[in-house]
Amino acid sequence: MKRRDFLRGAGVAGAALLGGRAAQAAPAAKPNIIYIMADDLGYGDLGSFGQKLIQTPHLDRMAAQGTRFTHAYAGSAVCGPTRCVLMTGLHTGHCTRRDNRAKANLPGEGKDRGLVPLAPDDVTVADVLGKAGYTTAGIGKWGLGNPGTTGVPEKHGFHHFYGYLDQVHAHSYYADYLLRDGARVALDGNKGGKRTQYTHDLFAEATLDFIRKHRDRPFFLYLPYTLPHGKYEVPSDAPYTDRDWSQQHKNYAAMITRLDHTCGQILSLLGELGLDERTIVFFTSDNGPNPPFLERFGSGGGLRGIKRQLYEGGIRVPTIVRWPGRVPAGRVSDFPWSHADFLPTAAALAGIEPPKGLDGVSVVPTLLGKEQAPHDFLYWEIHSPFQQAVRAGKWKAIRFGTEEPLELYDLAADPAEKRDVAARHPDVAKRIEAYLATARSPSKYWPSKPKRTARRKRSKGKKGAQR
């Protein structure tokens, strides 16, 4: 559905709208919706997901007060396309942005970087919720369109945005400027080599300020925070200063604990303002972890794969949902769902019909502790190098070219994807291959590859590469 058609024709429905394939009554009052997304946080980086060394008491408490989802997936294995999937409800075989950088027909926004912004007709979750009467805001890293392009947040339903638009700009936690509603905001405390304004702390302050100012009407607050993405820099490495670890490991752990502290501040403020029962809070990550943290911290949670890979460790992410009195407390769910499901879920929560033709479905029944039919298939593709992956029930398939053999794993018996059982289950492999034949639409920027290709290494001196 084109954005202009949605904005012209969508209307707020009553309390019995359908969200995707699963029907459920919309809440009597529209809840506030807060969506917190960490950056490069691994499946095993939270205490509630098995972490033993890094302290995350507030998120662990959130898990105890809500539901922990152990089979929830990012939209992709890298940040740009994940954000596109999350915002549009389309998986990476259909959405506009399918990898961080285009692989062909490089667009005009810096041909050396290959950035593809959201298209003018892309409908985002902010468009949908704005149509339902929500005040919409984003704070953190956007990554779907730089200034002057069709992809900036103010062109896609956000009333307010504060943070970074460019992903590489977001690599510095001591940047000398940020963007607020399209205008540059100078950070004088970081000029001339000074490092006195840590951007995450500015985001935390802005988050709490937004909640206080908008407490009296429904709001959607999207928080794509940059912690713990590199650069691994943080004002203090406490409480890990005295650990016998590398400085990088101390900083990474401190960044996660700092993120956890911010989440605790958000939850405390909701309670203080009497918004707990009127606010649903999601917490997730945009993709899997980076290699330096697998051995020390077990950041992959025992799963195979890392960021930029479509094995489970690259796309399965820690996910927690809290809504006191509605989302069951202390529950653990293995229902498989992905970031593509967020837009239709948010629409159902708001009581508005989502755009037609989405890949995602509303998971409101699952959030509320009820039964619903799972997806027949979940799909991912990425292009550095080209890979496709499918989740179908307990089965997980991955291939590295449209003419390459399919690897098949039984996640119920082999969650670490160690044993390829494609030869033992040819019927399952054939069914998934039939789905793959129609799973994606062509993209001029990201053509499929018939054969396996190696990931090209970046030259050490090259600057401005999108990561």
CB-based contacts of 170, cutoff 8 Å, min separation 6 = 141, 143, 163, 164, 226, 229
Tell whether the model's pLDDT for residue 80 goes beyond 90: yes
Among the ranges given (65-74, 307-316, 353-362, 450-459), the one the predictor scored with the smallest mean pLDDT: 450-459
The predicted-structure confidence for 207-255, as pLDDT tens digits, reads as follows: 999 999 999 999 999 999 999 999 999 999 999 999 999 999 999 999 9
Q: What is the pLDDT of residue 10?
A: 56
The pLDDT of 440-466, averaged and rounded, is 72
Report the percentage of the chain scoring pLDDT > 70: 90
Q: Average per-residue pLDDT in the chain?
A: 92
What's residue 4's pLDDT?
63
State the pLDDT at residue 461.
Answer: 39
> Domains (ranges, CATH) in the chain?
31-376 (3.40.720.10), 379-436 (3.30.1120.10)
Whether residue 348 has pLDDT greater than 70: yes
Provide the CB-side half-sphere exposure for 431 (13 A, CA): 11
- Residue 419 reports pLDDT greater than 70: yes
Average pLDDT over residues 70-92: 98
pTM value? 0.93
Predicted local confidence at residue 381, as pLDDT: 98
The whole-number pLDDT of residue 59 equals: 98
Residue, of 27 and 106, whose pLDDT is higher: 106
The pLDDT-based confidence of 23 (bands split at 50, 70, 90) is: very low
Span 85-134, pLDDT tens digits: 999 999 999 999 999 999 998 776 555 578 999 999 999 999 999 999 99
**Binning pLDDT at 50, 70 and 90, where does residue 69 land?**
very high
| pLDDT at residue 147 in the model | 95
Confidence at residue 455, expressed as pLDDT on a 0 to 100 scale: 65
CB distance 100 to 113 below 8 Å: no
**Interior CA angle at 403 toward 406 and 433, to 5°?**
45
Say what the alpha-carbon torsion angle 73, 301, 35, 228 is, to the nearest 10 degrees: -120
The burial of 386, by beta-carbon neighbours within 10 Å (0-12 exposed, 13-18 middle, 19 or more buried), is given as buried
Can you tell me the mean pLDDT for 340-365?
A: 98
Q: Which long-range contacts (CB under 8 A, 24 or more apart) does 104-112 make?
A: 104/444, 104/445, 104/446, 104/447, 105/444, 105/445, 106/445, 107/445, 109/146, 109/149, 110/464, 112/464
Strand-pair category, 219-223 with 32-38: parallel
What pLDDT was estimated at residue 29? 84
Question: What Å distances lie between residue 213 and 208, 244, 260, 269, 349, CA to CA?
Answer: 9, 44, 23, 12, 22
> For residue 106, what pLDDT is reported?
79
What span, in angstroms and rounded, lies between the C-alpha atoms of 275 and 402?
Answer: 49
Cβ atoms of 291 and 332 within 8 Å: the answer is: no
pLDDT band at 20 (very low <50, low <70, confident <90, very high): very low
pLDDT, residue 1, reads 60
Residue at token pair 């809504």: 323
pLDDT tens per residue, range 169-203: 999 999 999 999 999 999 999 999 999 999 999 99
